[in-house]
Amino acid sequence: MRGPHNIIRLIRTGATLERTGAMNVVLDAFEAPRAIRFLAHALGKPFQWLGYKGDPDMPPATRALTALGPAYIKFGQVLSTRPDVVGVELADQLRVLQDKLPPFSREEAMKEVEKELGRPLGEMFEEFSEPIAAASIAQVHKAKLADTGEAVAVKVLRPGIERAFRKDIDAFYFAARVIEFIAPGARRLRPMDVIAHFDGVVRGELDLRLESSAASEYAANTKDDQGFWLPPVIWSLCARRVMTLSWADGIPLGDNAALDAANHNRRDLGERVLRLFLLHALRDGFFHADMHQGNLKVAANGDIIAYDFGIMGHIDEYTRRVYAEILFGFIRRDYKRVAEVHFEAGYVPASQDVDEFARALRAVGEPIFGMDASQISMGRLLNYLFEVTERFGMETRTELILLQRTMVVVEGVARSLDPHINIWEVAHPVVEDYIKRSIGPRAALRDFTRTAMVLARFGPRLPNLVENALIAQTKQEEPSGNDRWSTLLPAAVGAAAGAAAVLAVLALG
């Protein structure tokens, strides 16, 4: 039944896009070729009566996706982090997608908790509230622990949500295959890769043990960050479909009137949000990738509280150093160095002209200096940056796209708190401190020490490795004279390097 199910679902999708006026918006954003446009309208127009009406007060794209249900809402949210795929304008529309859906009953939630945790509810909680928030994948209840009386938040997956998502994702894969078959030119948009990325995100969110793990790692990384707090995970009450955290009371970061009434300094809060995001991204390489106002609160003592850890970003140490150098180059207005870093990291093909690339980057950076955030459209700035990198053949790097996109969201949060905040001025000390610690002689010594420690583990095996390499070499056709030494020299050098590394570790120890 896979085929009929997919075809019916896609017809209804096309009908909804047509009925809500979203079809051309989506096709234009993806720069869809003529064949795809013809197929999309053929699936949509004749069956508009089958489409969902949606909320006419919403923009067309968000209206259509909200009407189509949880999987489409989540797909739109994930696409909002990929302006390289859908364009900045549509990404901005999708970013405000709300997945507030009707809750399922308290009784169903209680049954799910008992089933997942394998204990009667009364043994775990003395109180268990009606749903206080309901989203596309899960909903949250406030509860009180039976043994300590501590207030907690219990997140429970919707019944049957895995099967519902699996059906829709299967239809998405089917659509991607059809697109690649009918319009080979559309393969540059990598439709299968986009769906695979979405599939991976959703699989992570449908296992609350993974979100619990992300929350725990994030808390361990940030435990010493002043003015920032994460509700601890209560592991004994977590499972695949249930997640329990300590309760977090606070004012939503988007409620300026309440923040003012509580005498919180909004300018300080805005600057702190920016600093914390950059600190987590650069120092830890693990950051909250969904830091909008709905996932942030302010405690009575002024601490910023973050929650909802379903979408987290990760970048390795090398990429963090590259990104820091790029960011620092922009801050210093050293566009030649920014261009060189792109070439050194292999982000831009060596066949391109570094000076021309530097001039293009200057056009990105110069408009932001001497201006406050209220005069800068970060969306347009990001859009131009994508245009520049695409023109110079830079390959899309998903982790950097997510980082840049989150930076725009965080800048928007900060601007809502203080319209005159400047992201670059706030970023300067954080990036400069990271540069000092991560690039330079001390960092090079630390890198060498780590490398030596890895090689040292192979110390006892080095003699056999070298001997086996020499034996294997001599079994091959005997080269003559200097040629023989030229083939044995790499093995000798490798052995010497390994021995030097072991000595280095011993000396440093």
Residues with catalytic function: 290
Predicted local confidence at residue 145, as pLDDT: 96
Prediction pTM value: 0.73
Query: What's the confidence (pLDDT) of residue 236?
Result: 95
C-alpha–C-alpha distance, residues 236 and 146, integer Å: 13
Q: What pLDDT, on the 0 to 100 scale, is given for residue 506?
A: 40
Q: Where are the alpha helices (DSSP H) in 206-289?
A: 208-222, 256-261, 266-279
Q: Is 393 left (phi over 0), alpha (psi -120 to 50) or beta?
A: left
Beta bridge partners of 376: none
Beta carbons of 288 and 249 less than 8 angstroms apart: no
- What's the pLDDT at 478? 57
Confirm if 329 and 341 have CB atoms less than 8 A apart. Answer: yes
Q: How far from the centroid of its chain's Cα atoms is residue 377's Cα?
A: 22
How many alpha carbons fall within 13 Å on the CB side of residue 401?
22
Of 7, 8, 26, nearest in space to 18 by CA: 26
The tens place of each residue's pLDDT in the chain, 509 residues long, gives: 455 667 788 788 888 888 888 888 887 777 777 777 887 787 778 877 778 888 888 888 888 888 888 888 888 877 776 666 677 677 777 766 766 678 899 999 999 999 999 999 999 999 999 999 888 889 999 999 999 999 999 999 999 888 888 888 888 888 888 777 776 655 555 677 778 877 887 887 889 999 999 999 999 999 999 999 999 999 999 999 999 999 999 999 888 999 999 999 999 999 999 899 989 988 999 999 888 888 899 999 999 999 889 888 888 888 888 877 877 787 788 889 888 988 888 888 888 899 998 998 888 778 766 665 556 655 556 556 666 777 787 766 666 667 777 877 788 788 888 888 877 788 778 878 887 777 666 666 766 676 767 666 766 776 777 777 777 777 665 555 555 545 544 544 444 444 444 444 444 44
Q: Where are any strands of DSSP class E within 178-323?
A: 228-229, 242-246, 251-252, 286-288, 296-298, 304-306, 312-314
**Which value, in Å, is the radius of gyration of the alpha carbons in the chain?**
27
Which tokens in the block code for residue 226? Answer: 């002043």
Q: How far is CA 85 from CA 113, 224, 382, 499, in A?
A: 39, 37, 13, 49
418-440 as b/e, with b when 16 or more CB fall inside 10 Å?
beebbbbebbeebbeebbeebee
Q: State the pairing for strand pair 304-306/228-229.
A: parallel
Cα 171 to its chain centre, rounded Å, is 24
For residue 498, what pLDDT is reported?
47
